Amino acid sequence: QVTLSIFELASAAGIPCEVDPALVNVLAGSKTEGSSSEEDYKVACLLLVFVAVSLPLLASDPASIYNTEVDGYNNNIHCLAKAIIHVSAALFTVHHKNIETH
């Protein structure tokens, strides 16, 4: 909790953080009633497995070719890595797990 408070202060000051405190708060507040913490943790791990299985399919998509006119990809796949990092860091922070290990 102390670390999350420090991240909130740093984020408010415009300093980039390894964990987005707003995302952590949203994910912590969206826990389903009646489910255990261990069950939610398993769902977070399965989400990462789903992403890992989906990446080769997404990479072979014809829209995943670099377009020089827009200086990026037509399907915005270049944003995916950052999104995976931020969501997984927030999920494992909610479950009090080590981010680097996961």
Give the start-to-end residue ranges of the domains of the chain. 19-95
Given this model, what pLDDT does residue 1 score? 65
pTM given for the model: 0.75
Tell me the C-alpha distance between 23 and 20, whole Å: 5
CB atoms within 10 A of CB 21: 20
Tell me the C-alpha distance between 1 and 24, whole Å: 11
Query: Percent of the chain having pLDDT more than 70?
Result: 95
Given this model, what pLDDT does residue 74 score? 86
Query: Which of 84, 80, 48 lies closest to 64 in space, CA to CA?
Result: 80
User: Greater confidence, 55 or 11?
Assistant: 55
